[in-house]
Amino acid sequence: MAFFIRNTLRAICAGAVLVAVDASAQQLTYASPQLHAVLDRLERQDAEIQSLRDELHRQRLAPLQSVGHAPNGNGGPPGPDGAFDGPPPPWTKVDLKSKSVRVGGRIFLDHMMFSQDPGHPIADQENRTRFDTARIKVEGDIWENVDYRIQLDFGGSLSGSEDRPTFKDVYITVKELPYVGAVRSGHFKEPVSLDQLTSSRFITFMERSLADTFAPGRNVGVMAYDTLGCSEDVSWFFGTFHSEIGDAPPDEREDSADWTATARLAWLPYFDEPSEGRYLVHVGGSYRYAAYGDDTVRYRVQPELATPSRFLDVTLAADQVNLFNAETALVWGPFSVQSEYFLAEVDTLVGPTATYTGAYAYVSYFLTGENRGYSRSAKAFDRVDVFTPFFHVNTCDGTCTGWGAWELAARWSYIDLVDGVALDAGTEGRLEHFTFGVNWYLNNYTRLMFNYVHSILDEADGDEGEADLFGVRFQVDF
């Protein structure tokens, strides 16, 4: 009986399997035309993809063919017999003819008013309206490791005597170099001073501090710069420049010594990566040795709203200067602090070494919550990212307004040009300023600046006086 039951169950299972197989075969036979169509379409797509890959590969190798190489099918580097073996080298992936051109510029329109004590040593300054800056620049990249910039300024000079246009940044940079990182050659800023290396588009006040008198600004030279290791936290800059070429079109004609050696080291002890620098600490310093072929060193000091008259003007018979600079800054959300100190040791030809100093410190705060932008590669401040650009429009639901960004700032600065050294011309003295500013950023590229400066002048011969200066700037860059 058990034998009969076991055989019966086996027969039932075998029949079920046969029925299932037969049903699957019928379904597969029915779906076979659709399956073949899908497979054919996939094969055609594979062939098209392979054809596109071959065409892209031929285009990448075109520069090699133009210089006499004849690649074989696999496109690898040439072997001893001229054939190409292995995969294509990485440098064949670059278009050797690639280049870019970008046009930009900036416009600063200033109006300034002055009020001085009746006995002020400097002649009465008249109110003035002028285009402080009107610049056009062309910049871009050539291949992947060369960039260039040509920048000319057509703005009016303070004295009206300078040739126009004047050179600003005119240079070529070769990047991605071993050991030295990048090398720049041309007319550009020497690596001295955080305030000087921050573009005038991004500085907090209309003019830089009194201590900026010591910063060399732009000269013709060559500079290497890079970061230490893979981190962007520490950067170094080293260059050599002519010491007496200004912003007029450079044309150096001198046989005697006229050169500088300039170095800067900047470090970010703290940089908040998630917020892209909304919280950071910056410290740095620079040193500059300068030799002067004409044996003349001159320091001319303007107040922090530019006037045609110099409040201090010191000229010394000297052949070299050692300049030391220390810089620090903190950005903590909308709040920021920045400060620098300068020490200049002038080796005079008729007497002891003259020692001059200058410094500034300021604080700023964004009422609307923004923060100062920062460039990790340049180790200098950058563009402010406005949360809500300014606009004022009428809609069906009423008036809609964006307020832009609002920033308050206060600065103290001084410069001391008193050392008792015999002068060829000019006047020694001390100048101290208290500056208050309000900046309204309509958007990332447009702002209005309002500055009030209280100036205290104390000349070495005992003359002194105070002045009040007020300025407004309309600024746009593109």
- Mark whether 311 and 372 lie in a shared domain: yes
- Number of residues in the chain: 478
Give 271 or 77, the one with higher predicted confidence. Answer: 271
Tell me the percentage of the chain whose pLDDT exceeds 90: 60
Question: What digits encode the pLDDT tens for the residues 285-321?
Answer: 999 999 998 889 999 998 999 888 889 999 999 999 9
Give me the sign of the Cα torsion angle 273, 278, 283, 284. positive
Q: CATH number for the domain including 195? A: 2.40.160.10
- Mark whether 51 and 146 lie in a shared domain: no
Who contacts 163 (Cβ-Cβ below 8 Å, separation ≥6)? 248, 249
Across 122-136, 155-169, 228-242, 283-297, least confident range: 155-169
The pLDDT score that the predictor gives to residue 20 is 42
330 inside domain: yes
Who contacts 474 (Cβ-Cβ below 8 Å, separation ≥6)? 107, 108, 109, 448
The pLDDT score that the predictor gives to residue 423 is 57
27 inside domain: yes
Residue 116's SS3 state is strand
- Mark whether 73 and 110 lie in a shared domain: no
Max CA distance (Å), the chain: 135
Q: Which helix (H) or strand (E) holds 6?
A: helix 2-66
- Mark whether 143 and 196 lie in a shared domain: yes
> Which of 178, 154, 174, 175 is closest to 166 using CA atoms?
154
Sorting pLDDT into bands at 50, 70 and 90, what band is 272?
very high
Q: Do the beta carbons of residue 469 and residue 455 sit within 8 Å? A: yes
- Mark whether 57 and 165 lie in a shared domain: no
Sorting pLDDT into bands at 50, 70 and 90, what band is 97?
low
Across 87-91, 146-150, 206-210, 369-373, least confident range: 87-91
Domain boundary among 78, 94, 117: 78
Give the distance, in angstroms, between the CA of residue 355 and the centroid of all CA atoms in the same chain: 32
260 inside domain: yes
> Which of 212, 213, 207 is closest to 453 using CA atoms?
207
Ramachandran bin of 138, using left for φ above 0, alpha for ψ from -120 to 50, beta for the remaining angles: beta
Provide mean pLDDT across the span 329-351.
Answer: 96
- Mark whether 157 and 55 lie in a shared domain: no
Across 3-17, 385-399, 435-449, least confident range: 3-17
* Segments forming the whole domain that contains residue 349: 106-477
How many alpha carbons fall within 13 Å on the CB side of residue 320?
10
> Does 265 score more than 90 pLDDT?
yes
Provide mean pLDDT across the span 158-171.
Answer: 75
- Mark whether 46 and 116 lie in a shared domain: no
Over the chain, what is the mean pLDDT? 84
Sorting pLDDT into bands at 50, 70 and 90, what band is 158?
low
Sorting pLDDT into bands at 50, 70 and 90, what band is 74?
very low
The pLDDT score that the predictor gives to residue 269 is 98
> Does 278 score more than 90 pLDDT?
yes
Who contacts 141 (Cβ-Cβ below 8 Å, separation ≥6)? 98, 99, 100, 147
Provide mean pLDDT across the span 159-166.
Answer: 64
The pLDDT score that the predictor gives to residue 53 is 79
The pLDDT score that the predictor gives to residue 450 is 98
Domains contained in the chain, number: 2
Compute the distance between CA of residue 78 and CA of residue 67 in angstroms, rounded to an integer.
13
- Mark whether 190 and 59 lie in a shared domain: no
96 inside domain: no
87 inside domain: no
Give 111 or 79, the one with higher predicted confidence. Answer: 111
The pLDDT score that the predictor gives to residue 72 is 41
| Amino acid residing at 284 | G
The pLDDT score that the predictor gives to residue 399 is 86
The pLDDT score that the predictor gives to residue 64 is 44
118 inside domain: yes
83 inside domain: no
> Does 374 score more than 70 pLDDT?
yes
- Mark whether 23 and 117 lie in a shared domain: no
Sorting pLDDT into bands at 50, 70 and 90, what band is 224?
very high
- Mark whether 18 and 118 lie in a shared domain: no
86 inside domain: no
Q: Hey, what are 139's tokens?
A: 């910049």
> Does 378 score more than 90 pLDDT?
yes
The pLDDT score that the predictor gives to residue 162 is 56
Question: What digits encode the pLDDT tens for the residues 173-222?
Answer: 999 999 999 999 999 999 999 999 999 999 999 999 999 999 999 999 99
Question: What digits encode the pLDDT tens for the residues 17-60?
Answer: 444 435 444 544 444 567 777 777 778 878 888 888 777 767 65
- Mark whether 71 and 149 lie in a shared domain: no
Give the distance, in angstroms, between the CA of residue 12 and the centroid of all CA atoms in the same chain: 84
Give 117 or 60, the one with higher predicted confidence. Answer: 117
- Mark whether 382 and 453 lie in a shared domain: yes
> Does 437 score more than 50 pLDDT?
yes
Q: Do the beta carbons of residue 336 and residue 329 sit within 8 Å? A: yes
Give me the sign of the Cα torsion angle 175, 180, 183, 188. positive
The pLDDT score that the predictor gives to residue 395 is 84
Tell me the percentage of the chain whose pLDDT exceeds 70: 79
Domain boundary among 78, 97, 130: 78
> Does 61 score more than 90 pLDDT?
no
> Which of 340, 338, 250, 345 is closest to 290 using CA atoms?
345
Ramachandran bin of 205, using left for φ above 0, alpha for ψ from -120 to 50, beta for the remaining angles: beta
Domain boundary among 27, 60, 78: 78
